[in-house]
Amino acid sequence: MTDTFQIISTSVEQTIALGEALATCLCEGDWVTLDGELGAGKTHLIRGIAQGMGADGHAVASPTFVLMHEYEPEDLDKPLLIHIDAYRLENPRDLLNLGFEDVADESVILIEWASKVAKVLPENRLQIDLQHETDTTRQITFTGYGNINQRIADIQSATRSVAAMGSDNRE
């Protein structure tokens, strides 16, 4: 069983703030997979997650050409963030050869263009889909799979106040 909810973001700043709120719900070993068109806000959302987990959000950039970045939070009690861009991976199994497996259980794994590697993604994950509605408005859909589905109500609650900054939100 999966649970889904949607939020409308009306600005880059709101998308970053949604990531910061989402970060309060993430734990070691979590996988967050993101999909959406170019420019839909995947990297902005990840920037917010990084900031919310105590890493330098300004250091966050799409790892399109290097495939993977690591962001260490200032508080060493918080998990390492591993940011992967699967856009250029030729084969889903290439994801497993990037060298993050040794620290995956102590990290939060964030994967852009996750649909390209769907065959090798774990059952337990939070899927986020971002879609353009207008030039500035994005529809963001959160879907919990596996054990993360049990936390989807907490994720919705954490992001609800940020969503209220914008206009109409959908559930």
**Interval 21-59: pLDDT, tens:** 999 999 999 999 999 998 898 999 999 999 999 987 878
Residue 167 has pLDDT above 70, yes or no: no
Q: Number of C-alpha atoms within 13 angstroms, CB side, residue 56? A: 7
57, 50 contact by CB (below 8 A): yes
Residue 114 has pLDDT above 80, yes or no: yes
Grade residue 95 by pLDDT with cuts at 50, 70 and 90.
Answer: confident
The structural domains of the chain, ordered by start, are 3-143+154-163 (3.40.50.300)
Grade residue 20 by pLDDT with cuts at 50, 70 and 90.
Answer: very high
49, 15 contact by CB (below 8 A): no
110 is written with which tokens? Answer: 């964030």
Q: Structure pTM?
A: 0.88
pLDDT for residue 65: 61
pLDDT for residue 23: 95
Averaged pLDDT, 129-134: 92
* Mean pLDDT for the chain overall: 87
The pLDDT > 70 percentage for the chain reads 92
DSSP 64-129: TTT-EEEE--SSTTSPEEEEEE-TT-SSGGGGGGSS-GGGGGGEEEEEETGGGGGGGS-SSEEEEE
Grade residue 169 by pLDDT with cuts at 50, 70 and 90.
Answer: very low
125 is written with which tokens? Answer: 């994950």
151 is written with which tokens? Answer: 């936390």
Residue 62's SS3 state is coil
Averaged pLDDT, 136-150: 92
Which letter, b or e, does each residue of 39-70 get, where b requires 16 or more Cβ atoms within 10 Å of its Cβ?
Answer: ebbbbbbbbbbbbbbbbebeebebbeeebbbe
pLDDT for residue 63: 61
pLDDT one-digit tens code per residue, 48-92? 999 999 987 878 877 666 678 888 888 888 899 999 988 888 888
108, 15 contact by CB (below 8 A): no
The pLDDT > 90 percentage for the chain reads 54
Q: How far is CA 68 from CA 88, 110, 111, in A?
A: 11, 10, 9
Averaged pLDDT, 116-120: 91
